[in-house]
Amino acid sequence: MSQVGLSELFSATLPSLQQAVRTAGDSTADPEEQLAAVAAFSECLADLWPLLESKPYLCEFLEFLEANIGALPERAARGDEMAAIQIIELMALLEAHLSTPDDEEIVSALLEMASLEIFDPPLPPETIVAWSQNVESADRDERRSESQDELTEVELASGVDNVFIEESTSTAVVTAETEDEHTPKLSAEASELLAILAMAISEGQEEFLTRIAEMAATSDADARTFAAQSCQEILNRFATASAQAGLVAFSTLCASLGFQIAAMSAEAKWPAELIDALMQLPQRMLAYLERPLDVDICCGLVEILQKPHWIDPLSTANAESLAYKLKEDPLLLEADSGPSHPVAIEDKDLSLAPAADIDPIVLASFRREGPDLAFKLVNVIQSLVTGGGDEETLHQAQRWAHTIKGSANICGVNAIAVLSHYLEDLLEFLTIQGLRPSQALGDTLAAGADTLALMFDMFNGVETSDPDRLRGVMQEVLDWANRIDREGADALLPAAEGAKPWSPPRTESPVDTEIPVAPSPPKSQDEPIEREDTYLQVSTRTMDDLLRFVGELSVALSRAEEQLSRARLLLSESGEIAHRTLLQIAELDNLVDLRGLGLQSNTYSRSPSAFDPLELEQYNEMYEVTRWINEGVSDTYELGRTLNSTLHELGEAIQHQARLQRLIRRLAMETRLVQVDSIVPRLQRAVRQTCRATGKEAELHVMGSETQVDGEVLDRIMPALMHLVRNAIDHGIELPDQREQLGKPRVGRIEIRFAPAGDQIVVTCSDDGRGLDLERIRAKAISAGLLAASAMPTDQELMLLTLQPGFSTREVVTQISGRGVGMDVVATIVHTLNGTLAIESQPGAGYRIQLRLPASRLTLYCLLLRHGDHLLAVPANEVRSALLIEEGECVETPEGWQFCHEGHWYPLRQLDPLFGRSPGTPERRGRSVLILSSDRADQAILIDALLEGRELVVMKPGSTVPKVPGLMAVSVLGDGTVVPILDMRTILRVVESGDLKMVSWHEEADFTKPLPTVLVVDDSISMRRLLSQLVIDAGYRALTASNGMDALQILGRERVDLLLVDMEMPRMNGLELSAHLRSQPDTQTLPIGMITSRSSEKHQHQAAQVGIDRYFVKPYRDDDVIEFIQQKLAKVS
């Protein structure tokens, strides 16, 4: 069988083989199914063995595949599924080899992959050598056979009787007319492009032939029209790919055939001659791509367009011209000329100033991570220069330089971007050519890497910025790049030596390369770069733990203060007791002394014979005991005074610790503080994108951008702010012409104002658009059943209806402001943060919404209150005012109790049902009333007593505590009492409904439609952050992965709707990832966009071959990426 026939048979068998490999290597499959899949694979190969007798190297390769597939079930049981993926890729390469057997790059890639250690056993080295020799031999035999066939045809056509062939033991010299040394040859680049196109046509030929067969068999006009249009689409795809490859004539042929097919009448039956010609079309195309210089093949292709049955057949003159161009176009394809470099380093190339509009978070990340990347690049290049390392080391160096270049371009740091770009070009040349850097080039690479590290030190303020220290080395690197552009591999070493391929490590000593230092004072052409603070990267979890421990330390100090106060109180009481005891002892002394005087008087008045010794002894004992008691109490009193002094010192120490604790807490909290101006670029970008999408004009003004806010709070409200901005443009701002008619400026104004207010942050978002259409809101609420037709709500109540889940006045949800983040979720975000919001709107004058949020989520100022036997805390920002019940009037109405204060009536709610008590009469004196602010309407809540206001450390309940509606957090008081912090809005809804299982605001948000998910796969942290931020700002959910293997793990556990991938990544690059996803049934249609700095047509063809939907070249436009995402995810979102 011919090579083409073998290729077709293998391509037809390939889907069954791939499915067998997937099943055999699936760890979740039944073992019997896995063994059956192994057997099915062997059965499929059985059809190929007889055809491969002349190609023993292919037989050995298939035996190698069969052996590894037999081991897949055991490897899958160990959790190793990578072998199955690699085998599928090997079979794809084998298909490409069979289609284009002369392509040495495909053979090299196939043999290289088969030699990996992941295969057990791998393809033996002797088999690889034998295969290479057999391929060369088979190619020579095939070319010799073709030459003899051509000579035979020439002999028959010309009547030549004798063709002299001189044979020897090894060669046959043809003395008839053959191609001489001047016969045109295709470049390697042309052969590669033709092979890629051949693979594309091989993949599409089955569908094309199926559609042609349908046109021939069916009599239904609609079915024939559909089949014709499908054929045109397939041919248009071929035409587009051919045009990108530079084959203009072949592209014209494909497009013309597609037009002719679509233009044919669907009513009449197609002529058999046309059907036969179209059935042969794919094979003729493949034959042309295999032998594009064959005149007969070119003419045969063009002949199809000359069929008289077409609506507009090709004329003879045009056919000859097209056939000539079909032969000439492949000869014009040149290899990629490589990067074009300037001659000299310019002043702008030495700038270390970042872009003015770069996101501060991205810039800070670049400052932290850049020096580490430069250090890694220095290490791997030093390894290469000293004779160590291998091809993988060289490839790793190229990857580090590529990553640094991409990050520097994102941040707009020209000097770093330019130098890393030139270094990458040099390293890429060495990688492609498989060469080791010469001594001279190695020294330049080492100096360039060291200079790159020096640039980061200058950029971060560690070194003084001095462009003169950079220019020399940068020019040296550039000179090498230009020299290689001109001379290729000959530039590496003197002509006598030539370029050296990879060999065992050298033993020479490394040559030190010193970066020249200018003797004169530095002359910076940029503004002086201020010395930046150095950064220490700390995980968010560590900071949260630090803040939690600081909070617990605060609780411990509060308890110590409480215990100290109690000890002082006890000491004071003991001192009073000691003082009273001393007074009593003094009185006792007086009594004893009086008794002693009485005894003495009696002694003098009696006669000596009347003296009683026992009575005198009793007096002496009582006197001594009284004296001991007096002394003991006095000592106790003195000890009390000493203890009081010690407690005073202890109190001062505790106060000092409290001051230190507050200082530590403030510093720890400052690590979470972020300036508002860090989010301004994202908001500005959202305004620009929304204006372009809606055709409106608006400008954003952010006031108070220097305000510092807790980073977690800022991140949590960011989706709400993005929606408010989009909503203001989409719903509020009028079109420019309409604004002029209304006497407004053509450009709308959106203003976001941040202002601190005590322990809160007030965020106000306003616009000068049309405001809320209250009548439309009322009509929509009535139709949705949210409002009775007879109801007469106030304007404020109508405005608050926009916070209801799913409420929208739009009939159709748009991509601008309807991606699952509506005003209801804005309210949910605010309430989750324990904030409040208020809405104001004037028809035709604009819209204003105010958010009040806590400045920090670590502490919260609360009101402590007592209700029954329970101690509770309520965030103070929820309370508008606190009153004694006597300050107002309680009135019972059919709707329930009402509280009146200063002419305002509030619904009065009681907490008794929450604690198992029946609500009593609210008129009992001594109780308190809290007026709570609410998004819907202010309400009054009745409590037993209001104790005090106190700043509490917020703690989340443990995982063992069930979710309780209305329980926001807990805190611990100084005496160890655990106090629940209540979400009063949820509490009020529970009280109103009487259902203690009522869900909270947090759960209402769970009913919203999940956002479409975009997975960003890039090895550069800066690119991952930048792209994920772009995705989030566009209203989608973003996930990130650093390489293809990580992406596969994420895809295994997460629902992903679209991928944005880089081309060059470690472990598994973007092309390998995309090829794998396209081979899996559940990810075949997953949209994939590739964002890379590779701009050559060669790389774009590779991307198209593996199924990339959109190819973006850096620097890309954000709008283009968002347009691609919106187009692909329109149905999902």
Reported as a single tens digit per residue, the pLDDT across 618-677 is 556 776 777 787 777 778 878 888 888 888 888 888 888 888 877 887 787 777 788 888
pLDDT digits (tens, 9 = 90+) for 857-908: 677 788 998 887 788 998 887 888 888 888 888 888 887 888 888 888 888 8
Long-range pairs for 921-928 at CB < 8 Å and ≥24 separation?
Answer: 922/885, 922/890, 922/897, 923/885, 923/890, 924/885, 925/885, 925/886, 926/884, 926/885, 927/884, 927/885, 928/865, 928/882, 928/883, 928/884, 928/885
Name the β-bridge partners of 1041.
1017
- Is residue 613 included in any domain, yes or no? yes
When pLDDT is cut at 50, 70 and 90, the band that residue 327 belongs to is confident
**Rounded Cα–Cα distance for residues 734 and 38 (Å):** 66
Please tell me whether residues 698 and 846 are part of one structural domain: yes
pLDDT digits (tens, 9 = 90+) for 395-419: 888 888 888 888 888 788 999 999 9
When pLDDT is cut at 50, 70 and 90, the band that residue 1004 belongs to is very low
**Rounded Cα–Cα distance for residues 441 and 421 (Å):** 16
**For the CA atoms of 971, 975, 977, 981, what is the dihedral angle to 10 degrees?**
-30
CA 756 to chain centre: 31
Mean pLDDT of 349-363: 81
Q: What's the CATH number where 320 sits?
A: 1.20.120
pLDDT digits (tens, 9 = 90+) for 231-277: 888 888 888 778 767 787 888 888 888 888 888 887 888 888 888 88
Angle 305-311-312 (CA atoms, 0-180°, nearest 5)?
55
When pLDDT is cut at 50, 70 and 90, the band that residue 950 belongs to is confident
Tokens encoding 961: 């505590």
- Is residue 532 included in any domain, yes or no? no
Tokens encoding 211: 């559609």
DSSP state of 350: G
Name the β-bridge partners of 38.
none
Please tell me whether residues 693 and 838 are part of one structural domain: yes
User: Does residue 74 surpass a pLDDT of 90?
Assistant: no
- Is residue 504 included in any domain, yes or no? no
pLDDT digits (tens, 9 = 90+) for 193-231: 788 888 888 888 888 898 888 888 888 888 888 888 888
Percent composition of the chain: helix, strand, coil (DSSP 3-state, to 5): 55, 15, 30
Please tell me whether residues 456 and 552 are part of one structural domain: no
Give pLDDT, residue 149.
Answer: 45
Q: What are phi and psi of 978, to 5 degrees?
A: -90, 125
Buried residues in 644-654 as b, exposed as e (16+ CB within 10 A): eeeeeebbeeb
> Which residues have C-beta within 8 Å of that of residue 884, sequence separation ≥ 6?
926, 927, 928, 929
Name the β-bridge partners of 842.
846
Please tell me whether residues 201 and 160 are part of one structural domain: no
When pLDDT is cut at 50, 70 and 90, the band that residue 2 belongs to is low
Q: What are phi and psi of 883, to 5 degrees?
A: -135, 155
Q: What are phi and psi of 129, to 5 degrees?
A: -65, -45
Please tell me whether residues 752 and 789 are part of one structural domain: yes
Last residue of a domain, one of 121, 150, 174: 174
User: Does residue 126 surpass a pLDDT of 70?
Assistant: no
Give how far Cα 632 sits from Cα of 620, 635, 638, 775, 847, Å. Answer: 18, 5, 10, 88, 80
Please tell me whether residues 594 and 720 are part of one structural domain: no
DSSP H or E segment with residue 826: helix 823-832
DSSP track, 608-670: GGG--HHHHHHHHHHHHHHHHHHHHHHHHHHHHHHHHHHHHHHHHHHHHHHHHHHHHHHHHHH
User: Does residue 376 surpass a pLDDT of 80?
Assistant: yes
Q: Give the rounded percent of residues in the chain with a pLDDT score beyond 90.
A: 8
- CA atoms within 13 A of residue 138's CA, in its CB half-sphere: 18
Q: What's the CATH number where 1121 sits?
A: 3.40.50.2300
Give pLDDT, residue 581.
Answer: 80
- Is residue 1041 included in any domain, yes or no? yes
- Is residue 414 included in any domain, yes or no? yes
**Rounded Cα–Cα distance for residues 1038 and 1010 (Å):** 12
Mean pLDDT of 801-819: 61
**Rounded Cα–Cα distance for residues 102 and 99 (Å):** 9
Whether 1071 and 1111 have beta carbons less than 8 Å apart is answered as no
User: Does residue 483 surpass a pLDDT of 80?
Assistant: yes
- Tell me which of 186 and 158 has the higher pLDDT: 186
Task: Tell me which of 17-26, 314-323, 433-442, 1002-1011 is least confident.
Answer: 1002-1011
**Rounded Cα–Cα distance for residues 659 and 1053 (Å):** 48
Which residue, among 1104, 1015, 1006, 1029, has the nearest Cα to 1057 in the 3D structure?
A: 1015
pLDDT digits (tens, 9 = 90+) for 427-454: 888 888 788 888 888 888 988 988 898 8
Structural domain count of the chain = 7
**Rounded Cα–Cα distance for residues 427 and 377 (Å):** 11
Please tell me whether residues 275 and 197 are part of one structural domain: yes
User: Does residue 560 surpass a pLDDT of 60?
Assistant: yes
User: Does residue 1016 surpass a pLDDT of 90?
Assistant: yes
**Rounded Cα–Cα distance for residues 872 and 416 (Å):** 58
Q: Give the rounded percent of residues in the chain with a pLDDT score beyond 70.
A: 77
User: Does residue 745 surpass a pLDDT of 90?
Assistant: yes
Give pLDDT, residue 406.
Answer: 80
Quick one: how many helices (H) and strands (E) in the chain?
Answer: 34, 25
pLDDT digits (tens, 9 = 90+) for 915-933: 666 666 666 666 888 888 7
- Annotate 88-147 with three-state secondary structure: HHHHHHHHHHHHCCCCHHHHHHHHHHHCCCCCCCCCCHHHHHHHHHHHHHHHHHHHHHHH
User: Does residue 181 surpass a pLDDT of 50?
Assistant: no
- Tell me which of 57 and 317 has the higher pLDDT: 317
Which residue, among 867, 1133, 868, has the nearest Cα to 1008 in the 3D structure?
A: 1133
Give pLDDT, residue 134.
Answer: 55
Whether 471 and 350 have beta carbons less than 8 Å apart is answered as yes
When pLDDT is cut at 50, 70 and 90, the band that residue 566 belongs to is confident
**Rounded Cα–Cα distance for residues 423 and 446 (Å):** 10
pLDDT digits (tens, 9 = 90+) for 660-673: 877 887 787 777 78
Q: Name the pairing type of β-strands 698-703 and 748-757.
A: parallel
Residue with tokens 């034959």: 287
Q: What's the CATH number where 746 sits?
A: 3.30.565.10
Name the β-bridge partners of 949.
863
- Tell me which of 912 and 646 has the higher pLDDT: 646
Whether 736 and 746 have beta carbons less than 8 Å apart is answered as yes
DSSP state of 1113: E
Which residue, among 744, 800, 796, 738, has the nearest Cα to 768 in the 3D structure?
A: 744
When pLDDT is cut at 50, 70 and 90, the band that residue 90 belongs to is confident
Give pLDDT, residue 1058.
Answer: 94
User: Does residue 132 surpass a pLDDT of 60?
Assistant: no
Residue with tokens 């079930």: 73
DSSP track, 225-280: HHHHHHHHHHHHHHHHHHHHHT-HHHHHHHHHHHHHHHHS-SSSPPPHHHHHHHHT
What rounded mean pLDDT belongs to the chain?
Answer: 77
Buried residues in 941-969 as b, exposed as e (16+ CB within 10 A): bbbbebeeebebbbbeeeeeeeeebbbbb
Q: Which residue stretches of 671-710 are H helix? A: 680-694
- Is residue 258 included in any domain, yes or no? yes
Please tell me whether residues 767 and 908 are part of one structural domain: no
Give pLDDT, residue 1057.
Answer: 92
Q: Name the pairing type of β-strands 928-932 and 879-884.
A: antiparallel
Please tell me whether residues 323 and 425 are part of one structural domain: no
Give pLDDT, residue 190.
Answer: 76
**Rounded Cα–Cα distance for residues 849 and 832 (Å):** 17
Strands (E), 693-835: 698-703, 708-710, 748-757, 760-767
Q: What's the CATH number where 911 sits?
A: 2.30.30.40
Mean pLDDT of 689-718: 85
Last residue of a domain, one of 638, 671, 704: 671
Question: Distance between terminal CA atoms of the chain?
Answer: 52
pTM: 0.47
Question: Helices 711-727 and 823-832 meet at what angle, rounded to 10?
Answer: 160
When pLDDT is cut at 50, 70 and 90, the band that residue 85 belongs to is confident
pLDDT digits (tens, 9 = 90+) for 601-612: 555 455 555 545
- Tell me which of 795 and 475 has the higher pLDDT: 475
**Rounded Cα–Cα distance for residues 59 and 123 (Å):** 12
Please tell me whether residues 196 and 242 are part of one structural domain: yes
Please tell me whether residues 978 and 1029 are part of one structural domain: no
User: Does residue 1087 surpass a pLDDT of 90?
Assistant: yes
DSSP state of 188: H
Whether 543 and 671 have beta carbons less than 8 Å apart is answered as yes
DSSP track, 283-301: HHHHHHHHSTT-HHHHHHH
Please tell me whether residues 132 and 10 are part of one structural domain: yes
**Rounded Cα–Cα distance for residues 1026 and 340 (Å):** 28
Give how far Cα 441 sits from Cα of 340, 373, 480, 532, 668, Å. Answer: 19, 21, 7, 34, 49
Q: Which residue stretches of 996-1095 are H helix? A: 1001-1004, 1021-1033, 1044-1053, 1070-1079
Last residue of a domain, one of 305, 332, 359: 332
Greatest mean pLDDT among 37-41, 669-673, 855-859, 1007-1011 lies in: 37-41
Range of the domain at 455: 347-487
- Is residue 407 included in any domain, yes or no? yes
> Which residues have C-beta within 8 Å of that of residue 920, sequence separation ≥ 6?
910, 912
Q: What's the CATH number where 371 sits?
A: 1.20.120.160
Which residue, among 132, 251, 242, has the nearest Cα to 196 in the 3D structure?
A: 242
- Is residue 183 included in any domain, yes or no? no
Q: How many CB atoms lie within 10 A of CB 727?
A: 23
